[in-house]
Amino acid sequence: MLWITEFSGFFSAALAVILLSPSLQSFSPAAAIRSSHLDAYFRPSPPPSSDHSLRNKFSYRKSPILRNAEECGFSGDVSGVCNPSYVHVAITLDVVYLRGSIAAVNSILQHSACPESIFFHFLVSESETSLENVIRSTFPRLNLKIYYFAPERVQSLIAPSVREALEQPLNYARNYLAELLEPCVDRVVYLDSDLVVIDDIAKLWETGLGPSTIGAPEYCHANFTSYFNGAFWSDDRYNETFKGRRKPCYFNTGVMVIDLKKWRSLEYTKAIEKWMEIQKVERIYELGSLPAYLLVFAGRVAPISHRWNQHGLGGDKVRGSCRDMHDGPVSLLHWSGSGKPLSRLDSKRPCPLDTLWEPYDLYLPVNSVQLH
């Protein structure tokens, strides 16, 4: 939180800009939420050529090696990944969002009192094995494991359509954490690649989930009905899905605390796949990977403080709009939406809040590598 204090002057300045500029104010929460799904369909740029990705290998600064504070009481040599003192974090890695994933990891380490007690689980699409080298050389002492996610696992479950043809199977990898991760790992924090954490991740990890299997900030003002179409709401096989639950609310699947033990025993992977199979045949919603999560978990989510997902900061690429923070304290900034801070910073047209992402960026432009 020290860090946020340093930036409070900046926040006031950003707020003043936002208050003075009506165009920056003009988004409704519902619109913000809807546009936050656009990343599921549109990637910011085509994957770089292999020549480019080869150069990428060498173009990240090494992260400084951070040590545990004395009060951590953590001994790293006990039983590897099964050490019960680890805080487990899962993040996806692919060529396009690599720079974002690296910034996310860097931000987590920078704000953790016990960085050596964090274990990272990276979900990588099978064809991109060289990413492991990039991660290992950027973070030389990181506790990590790489999992190659076979796209065939979900490809046959993704309904064919123009939009979903653009969707990457890796978006669905979070559904398989319970089986990918070792059975000794009982809990994991899942994070998207387009965010930075500016607080100690251990606080999020320790959140009580009560009887729930997953925890996430809930957004109950969003029009929940609109996530499913008429075919869903008028079909009596489906339209009572949420009966008997608490009020079902939208939540963002980019930040979740997951009790893997409960997930495994309640077989939620199968439950989500079942809805994907129904969707393939009946088309009960228009979005990609999110609605199946809502069908299984909405009204059953442990509500976590909104400070852990200030989402929607990516805004809408088409209109080039910038987004403001929601009210309240901030522990995690999430650039969901179709714009990304790295491309706006590179094109010298950043949104005010994009400069909060920049300090975590470890990318070195190729020219500066040659100079060193």
Cα distances (angstroms) measured from residue 5 to each of 23, 49, 201, 231, 242: 27, 41, 18, 49, 42
Closest CB 285 distance from ligand NAG, rounded Å: 11
Query: Which are the contacts of 319, defined by CB distance < 8 A and separation ≥ 6?
Result: none
Q: Which of 68, 110, 207, 239 binds ligand NAG (CB under 6 A)?
A: 239
Report the first-to-last Cα separation within the chain, whole angstroms. 34
Kindly tell me which of 232 and 251 has the beta carbon lying closer to ligand NAG: 232
Q: Which of 3, 42, 58, 233 binds ligand NAG (CB under 6 A)?
A: 233
Q: Could you tell me which stretch among 15-23, 222-230, 276-284, 364-372 binds ligand NAG (CB under 6 A)?
A: 222-230
Closest CB 234 distance from ligand NAG, rounded Å: 4
Query: Which are the contacts of 61, defined by CB distance < 8 A and separation ≥ 6?
Result: 138, 362, 363, 364
Q: Phi and psi dihedrals of 289, rounded to 5?
A: -85, -20
236 near ligand NAG, judged by CB under 6 A: yes
Q: Which of 25, 133, 137, 226 binds ligand NAG (CB under 6 A)?
A: 226
Q: Could you tell me which stretch among 76-84, 193-201, 220-228, 315-323 binds ligand NAG (CB under 6 A)?
A: 220-228
Sort 318 into a burial class: Cβ within 10 Å, 0-12 / 13-18 / 19+: exposed
Kindly tell me which of 71 and 236 has the beta carbon lying closer to ligand NAG: 236
Closest CB 128 distance from ligand NAG, rounded Å: 38
Residue 60 backbone class (left: φ over 0; alpha: ψ -120 to 50; beta: rest): beta
Q: Which of 8, 234, 347, 370 binds ligand NAG (CB under 6 A)?
A: 234
Closest CB 223 distance from ligand NAG, rounded Å: 4
Q: Measured at the alpha carbon of residue 266, what is the angle toward residues 261 and 267, in degrees to the nearest 5? A: 95
The DSSP symbol for 363 reads B
CB atoms within 10 A of CB 323: 25
Kindly tell me which of 236 and 327 has the beta carbon lying closer to ligand NAG: 236
Q: Could you tell me which stretch among 68-76, 156-164, 219-227, 331-339 binds ligand NAG (CB under 6 A)?
A: 219-227
Give percent helix, percent strand, percent coil of the chain, each to the nearest 5. 40, 15, 45
77 near ligand NAG, judged by CB under 6 A: no
Q: Which of 21, 26, 79, 223 binds ligand NAG (CB under 6 A)?
A: 223
Query: Which are the contacts of 27, defined by CB distance < 8 A and separation ≥ 6?
Result: 321, 323
**Footprint of ligand NAG on this chain (CB under 6 A)?**
223, 225-226, 233-236, 239
